[in-house]
Amino acid sequence: MITDYRELGLQSLDIVLCSGNSKMSNAIKTMQKLTGAKGEAAEISHIGGIFDAGKVNELEMQESTTCNNFEDGAVKGVQCNNFDKWLDYYDGRVWVRKLDFIRDADFDITDLRFWYDHCDDPYESGIMGSLELLLCVARLDKVIRKFWKGYNPLQTKDVHCSEHMANRMVADGIIFDAVSTNKLPPYLWWDWLDMYIKVPVGKPIRVK
């Protein structure tokens, strides 16, 4: 069943789960399945979050992406776009997961500051960025640690989608700091990550 997102009362930091049809999305889904992801979780290829900038009747999608081709002057990297336009454009299925907590003035200030600090940050690119994304999606750090106990996962200065969302949740105090934010492939956001989030998390609701 597909629900009109306007009926859900979405707020800042609610999680957006995407299953895209692009070549990159299909590659991510294939890699996740090869490394043990199951069911609908394995179909998730992209993560973002709702951002409420205080505009009347308008929410935005905050994400780190390489696939924005629907806005004038589209760029790769961390960005916010009108959620209605983004949802119409997105080629694939979309779910949301609501976080149950009060967005007070302190939260709004912190979340807005995070946006100003990171808007336009580049998306993962180049050999090192691609390698970090591959290690994340394949969860190869678990394999590597069997042979190299002190291995620390590769972390570049640029962020892929789930890394950006996790960093945002850390900044807002919603996720435990012990989580390695560059080690969270998209499928883990379906339900596995719940144990590390400090507030109640709703089940995935499909909105496209």
Q: Which helix (H) or strand (E) holds 79?
A: strand 77-82
Cα 128 from Cα 130, distance rounded (Å): 5
Cα 68 from Cα 21, distance rounded (Å): 14
**7-24: average pLDDT:** 95
Give the model's confidence band at 157: pLDDT under 50 very low, under 70 low, under 90 confident, else very high. Answer: very low
Asked if residues 136 and 113 have their Cβ atoms less than 8 Å apart, the reply is no
Of 112 and 148, the one with more pLDDT: 112
Which two structure tokens, joined as six digits, stand for 89? 């454009």
- Mean pLDDT in the chain? 83
Cα 65 from Cα 158, distance rounded (Å): 11
Question: What pLDDT, on the 0 to 100 scale, is given for residue 68?
Answer: 67
pLDDT reading at 19 higher than 50: yes
By percentage, how much of the chain surpasses pLDDT 70?
76
Residues with Cβ within 8 Å of 179's Cβ and at least 6 positions away in sequence, in order, are 166, 170, 193, 196
Cβ neighbour number for residue 54 with a 10 Å cutoff: 8
The pTM of the full predicted model, rounded to 2 decimals, is 0.84
**93-112: average pLDDT:** 97
> Domain 5-206's class?
alpha beta
